[in-house]
Amino acid sequence: PLQHAAGRLFRYAAAAGGGFALLAVLLTLFRAAPERTAVLARLRTMGLRPRQGLALIVAEALPQTLAAAVGGGLVAAAAVALLGGAFDISTLVGARVGDVLAPALMPVLLPTAGLALLVCLGVVAETLVAGRRQIATELRAGEQA
């Protein structure tokens, strides 16, 4: 029961972490949405295609997303290396664990890549929803700012 509960708690914590990461990126995008909408409207009047606008917004959000994902993966790997011997997790895993723990690469890389993909999908969804307005409406919104 303890192993099952620990696994379930880990899955819930990972899902909550992914949700918070997505929320942080979307709030950042929503905060900058009026300025970005006005710039995209001006660029569209000069011939920017909707796909190019989507690529521009993804390129804007990609550096912070990749930095957060890579940083989180490095912190996870470093935590195992630094704190691995300080905790006895034999009770949780049901077997004797040695004093030295070596971090496995795939359990760190898969959630990191999945989280980066989830955030990129969130950026694309926000862009598609925000891009449905007409150019004239976006230009009027830009005049009010």
pLDDT digits (tens, 9 = 90+) for 13-26: 988 987 887 788 77
Cα(106)–Cα(73) distance, integer angstroms = 11
Report how many domains make up the chain: 1
What pLDDT is recorded for position 92? Answer: 64
Over residues 88-129, the pLDDT tens digits come to 667 666 677 766 666 677 877 887 788 778 777 877 777 777
Measured over the CA atoms of residue 110, residue 113, residue 116 and residue 117, the dihedral's sign is negative
DSSP helix, strand, coil percent of the chain (3-state; round to 5): 80, 0, 20
pTM: 0.62
Q: Which domain holds residue 55?
A: 2-144
Q: How would residue 137 be classed by pLDDT, with cut points 50, 70 and 90? A: low
Tokens of 113: 């890549």
What pLDDT is recorded for position 135? Answer: 61
What pLDDT is recorded for position 12? Answer: 93
Supply the mean pLDDT for the chain. 77
Cβ-based neighbours of 25, under 8 Å, separated by 6 or more: 61, 64, 65, 119, 122, 123
Of 39 and 94, the structure prediction assigns the larger pLDDT to: 39
Helix pair 33-45, 135-144: axis angle to 10 deg: 130
